[in-house]
């Protein structure tokens, strides 16, 4: 029984080795390696903002109470703005103690005595908010700041489903690679044969942070969604024939 297992394992190893050698042999003949790139652009249909409230107090209890009150105000503003509960997610909640150095007493008369440092507690509660109507993103941010948000981490734009964008970018990358290979083959009086190998480095979505600015003549924030760019990169090896 043990001998059969050994022979079976040896046979499988030889089969894998033969397959590996065969794959390498396929690339020993004449071939050409080219890279292709394809990019597509699309207008986003989702805005994702991260903001929240940071509160301070002499005790953790006081800081927590203040933070809870302001976060409740944010949640009410979101509800009144028709933001669904499922689109609001807590991404960070933390409590820590900080020490604030106090000013020295008697700096003008040469007395270098320092008063006691002030100790206080800091509570931070950050929310991630998905805005499905991106045209309302700027006005919603203003509403939340008015409701008590004092920490805005940023806003980014994306697509609910980027599957089609990835497919289009990949198709363009494949066409780009074949066009390059065909041109090079023509220059050297040879023909393209079958594809020997394809490798993809992935479809990358470039999602820059949104640009936010305070308009000079209004009290509302200006948020520019712009467009998203999806880029696909392929490397293809073609066989060359006469």
Q: What are phi and psi of 176, to 5 degrees?
A: -65, -45
Q: How far apart are CA 207 and CA 224, in angstroms?
A: 13
The CATH number of 29-43+161-241 is which of 3.30.110.170, 3.20.20.140, 3.30.950.10, 3.50.50.60?
3.30.110.170
Task: Give the C-alpha distances (Å, rounded to integers) separating 229 from 19, 111, 155, 158, 175.
Answer: 40, 62, 17, 10, 18
pLDDT of amino acid 225? 78
Q: For residue 87, how many other CB atoms are within 10 A of its CB? A: 14
pLDDT of amino acid 227? 85
CB 148 within 8 A of CB 53: yes
Query: Can you tell me which residue has the tokens 């009144």?
Result: 80
Q: Which helix (H) or strand (E) holds 64?
A: helix 60-80
pLDDT of amino acid 106? 46
CB 99 within 8 A of CB 133: no
pLDDT of amino acid 211? 44
pLDDT of amino acid 7? 39
Q: What burial class does residue 116 get, using C-beta atoms within 10 Å of its C-beta: 0-12 exposed, 13-18 middle, 19+ buried?
A: exposed
Task: Give the C-alpha distances (Å, rounded to integers) separating 115 from 11, 66, 92, 121, 141.
Answer: 82, 27, 34, 19, 41
pLDDT of amino acid 206? 67
Q: What burial class does residue 56 get, using C-beta atoms within 10 Å of its C-beta: 0-12 exposed, 13-18 middle, 19+ buried?
A: middle
Where the chain has pLDDT below 50, the residues are 1, 3-26, 105-113, 209-219
pLDDT of amino acid 204? 76
Question: Which residues have CB under 8 Å from 219's CB, separation 6+?
Answer: 142
pLDDT of amino acid 112? 47
| Segments making up each domain of the chain, as ranges | 29-43+161-241, 46-101+119-158
* Fold adopted by 46-101+119-158: Alpha-Beta Plaits (3.30.70)
pLDDT of amino acid 54? 96
pTM, two decimals, is 0.65
HSE, side-chain direction, 13 A CA sphere, residue 59? 3
CB 106 within 8 A of CB 14: no
Beta strands in 18-82 (DSSP E): 31-42, 46-57
Q: Which helix (H) or strand (E) holds 132?
A: none
pLDDT of amino acid 219? 47
**Nearest to 170, CA basis, from 196, 197, 192, 200:** 200
Q: Which helix (H) or strand (E) holds 84?
A: none
pLDDT digits (tens, 9 = 90+) for 138-195: 899 999 999 999 999 988 898 989 899 999 999 999 999 999 999 999 999 999 999 9
Query: Can you tell me which residue has the tokens 């992935």?
Result: 202
Q: How far apart are CA 55 and CA 74, in angstroms?
A: 14
pLDDT of amino acid 11? 44
pLDDT of amino acid 28? 66
Q: What burial class does residue 215 get, using C-beta atoms within 10 Å of its C-beta: 0-12 exposed, 13-18 middle, 19+ buried?
A: exposed
């Amino acid at each position: 029984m043990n001998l059969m297992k050994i022979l079976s394992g040896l046979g499988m190893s030889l089969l894998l080795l033969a397959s590996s050698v065969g794959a390498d042999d396929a690339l020993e003949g004449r071939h050409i390696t080219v890279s292709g790139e394809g990019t597509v652009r699309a207008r986003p249909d989702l805005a994702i903002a991260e903001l929240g409230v940071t509160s301070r107090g002499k005790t953790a209890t006081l800081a927590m109470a203040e933070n809870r009150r302001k976060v409740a105000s944010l949640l009410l503003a979101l509800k009144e703005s028709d933001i669904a509960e499922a689109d609001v997610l807590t991404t960070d909640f933390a409590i820590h103690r900080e020490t604030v150095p106090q000013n020295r007493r008697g700096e003008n008369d040469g007395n270098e005595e320092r008063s006691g440092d002030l100790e206080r507690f800091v509570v931070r509660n950050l929310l991630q908010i998905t805005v499905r109507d991106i045209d309302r993103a700027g006005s919603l941010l203003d509403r939340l700041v008015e409701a008590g948000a004092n920490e805005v981490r940023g806003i980014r734009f994306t697509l609910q489903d980027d599957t089609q964008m990835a497919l289009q970018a990949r198709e363009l990358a494949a066409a780009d690679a074949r066009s390059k290979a065909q041109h090079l083959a023509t220059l050297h009086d040879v023909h393209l044969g079958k594809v020997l190998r394809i490798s993809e480095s992935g479809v990358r979505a470039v999602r820059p942070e949104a640009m936010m600015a305070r308009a000079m003549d209004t009290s509302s924030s200006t948020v520019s969604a712009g467009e998203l760019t999806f880029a696909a990169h392929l490397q293809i090896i073609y066989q060359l024939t006469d």
